[in-house]
Structure 1
C-alpha cells in the first residue's frame, strides 16, 4: 500500500461529509481517488469537494462495504454516488 496522499471526492450530507462511491463500467461499486486536485477537477469538475487521505485510510473506510476497491486517476466516472462511508 502506498503512503502517497490521495485526493478523494466527498459530498456533504447536511451533518457530515462522506466519500463519493461510483460504479465501474461493469456496475460494481468502487471508490475513486486522484493523485492531484488538478486531475480530480479535470474529471469531476472544479466544484467537486475533496479530502486528502492516504491509501490505507481510504481502504479502511471502505472495508466491509460491497466496494470493489480504489480506482486511482480514472479517466472518467459515472457521476452517480452510490452510497456513503461513515
Structure 2
C-alpha cells in the first residue's frame, strides 16, 4: 500500500456515550447476515453522511490507528467509502456522489453492527 494512503486521515463513524460525552467507540458493520464484522472508514465527511446520515458523529483516524483499535475485537478488515450502511437500501441514487477514489472498491449495502 502506498505511504500517502496509509498516512491519510480517514473519517471514521463513532458512537458517543452521551451527548457531549468524551467516550466514543468506532462503529462496525457486517457485509451480510452472519458475516464477519468490518471497520468502516470514509475519505470525506460528505461520503460518511451520505452512507450513515447527516447526524452521524465521526473522528479522524489513520488506517493503522483504526486497525489498532479493531484488532483486539478480532476485526482485521476496513471497508472504505461504502455507499450505504443500513437495514434497507434507500430509493435515492447513491452514485451521484461521484467516482470512488482510485483503487477503492465501493459496496452498496451494509448491515449496521450493534455489537461493540
TM over 0.5: yes
The residue that corresponds to 1:5 in the other structure is 9
- Let me know the Cα RMSD of the aligned residues: 1.7
Aligned with 2:114 (options 77, 81, 85): 81
Structure 1-normalised TM-score?
A: 0.84
Indicate if the aligned counterparts of 1:11 and 1:19 stay in contact, CA closer than 8 A: yes
Structure 2 portions without partners, runs of 5+ = 86-110
Aligned with 2:79 (options 67, 71, 75): 71
Give the C-alpha shift of residue 76 in structure 1: 2.0
Indicate if the aligned counterparts of 1:20 and 1:31 stay in contact, CA closer than 8 A: yes
Structure 1 portions without partners, runs of 5+ = none
Q: 2:50 matched to 1:42?
A: yes
Which has the bigger relative contact order, CA under 8 A and spacing at least 6?
1
Higher strand residue share: 1
Q: Distance in 1 between matches of 2:113 and 2:71?
A: 20
Give the paired residue count.
83
Q: Distance in 2 between matches of 1:72 and 1:46?
A: 18
Higher helix residue share: 2
Q: Distance in 2 between matches of 1:68 and 1:55?
A: 11
